[in-house]
Amino acid sequence: MTRQDILRAEDIFGPNLGSVKGKTTRRPTYHVNITWTQVPEDILQRHRNVTLAINIMTINKIPFVVSISRYTHFGTAELIRNKTKKTLLVSMQQIVRAYHARGFRFTTVLGDGGFECIRNGLADMGITLNVASRNEHVPKRKVY
């Protein structure tokens, strides 16, 4: 085995991980610079009125409110403590604020029976709730 054989093996397989571990130090990370840009006006003109599909998803018995908007396909996921009316309404208000900050407004929310309790709260915000019937999924059609 020659020096050239070792160099070729490192080129093909990379460095020996056993010898690299413990010898390298952690490099400091840099902060991510977040800059918001305005949503283009042509997108706002076509898709200003948002239809949102929402559902409650659980992972290891931990509930999340998951939403995705029609046409723009912007999705959100938020950890919630429980499935009470107050918690769901606060979660929806946060989602609405995120969209309003970018110039969108809600017209319709598509959900299952778990969101029936916040119908009046959504109506106060000017949003129509469309609840899917039992044993059906929330309709979310793909439009490109």
Per-residue pLDDT of the chain (144 residues; tens, 9 = 90+): 888 988 888 888 887 777 777 776 777 888 877 777 788 899 889 999 999 999 999 999 999 999 999 888 889 999 999 999 999 999 999 999 999 988 999 889 999 888 999 999 999 999 999 998 777 766 655 443
Q: Which residue bears the tokens 């800059």? A: 35
Cα(79)–Cα(65) distance, rounded to whole angstroms?
Answer: 7
pLDDT of residue 143: 41
pLDDT of amino acid 1: 84
What is the predicted pLDDT for the residue at 144? Answer: 38
Could you tell me the sign of the dihedral formed by the alpha carbons of 9, 14, 18, 22, in that order?
Answer: positive
How far is the C-alpha of 24 from the C-alpha of 113, rounded, in Å? 54
Domain 41-131 has CATH 3.50.50.60: no
Question: Pairing state of beta strands 128-131 and 62-69?
Answer: unpaired
In this prediction, residue 36 carries a pLDDT of 72
Phi, psi dihedral angles at 7 (to 5 degrees):
-65, -40
Residue with tokens 């469309």: 130
Residue 35 — left, alpha, or beta (φ > 0 → left; ψ -120 to 50 → alpha)? beta
With tokens 């778990």, the residue in question is: 114
